């Protein structure tokens, strides 16, 4: 999935919770925004990133993507 990081909701070490505007995805996701969690390291709001991972449903927070890999995409 590629998307624009709109907001870093939580950060602790390399772990992040991000609000991401979806640009492209192979995942079964049709919403314009998605919550991305995982060890994605330092990210910049407004930057485009490629995330590799899977969809899950958190009991408390609902559907989200768990990222296992991320990288900045050149603009």
Please state the pTM of the whole predicted model: 0.93
Predicted local distance difference test score (pLDDT) of residue 75: 64
Measuring CA to CA, which residue among 44, 63, 64, 31 is closest to residue 4?
Answer: 44
What is the mean predicted confidence (pLDDT) over 55-64? 94
Cα angle value 26/29/20 (rounded, 5°): 95
pLDDT at residue 59 tops 70:
yes
pLDDT at residue 64 tops 80:
yes
SS3 (DSSP) at 13: coil
pLDDT band at 74 (very low <50, low <70, confident <90, very high): confident
Measured CA to CA, the distance from residue 27 to residue 42 in angstroms comes to: 24
């Amino acid at each position: 999935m590629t998307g624009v990081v709109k907001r870093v909701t939580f950060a602790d070490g390399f772990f992040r919770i991000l609000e991401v505007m979806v640009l492209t995805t192979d995942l079964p996701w049709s919403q314009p925004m998605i919550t991305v969690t995982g060890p994605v390291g330092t990210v910049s709001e407004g930057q485009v990133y490629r995330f590799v991972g899977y969809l899950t449903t958190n009991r408390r927070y609902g559907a989200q993507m768990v990222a296992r890999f991320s990288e900045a995409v050149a603009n």
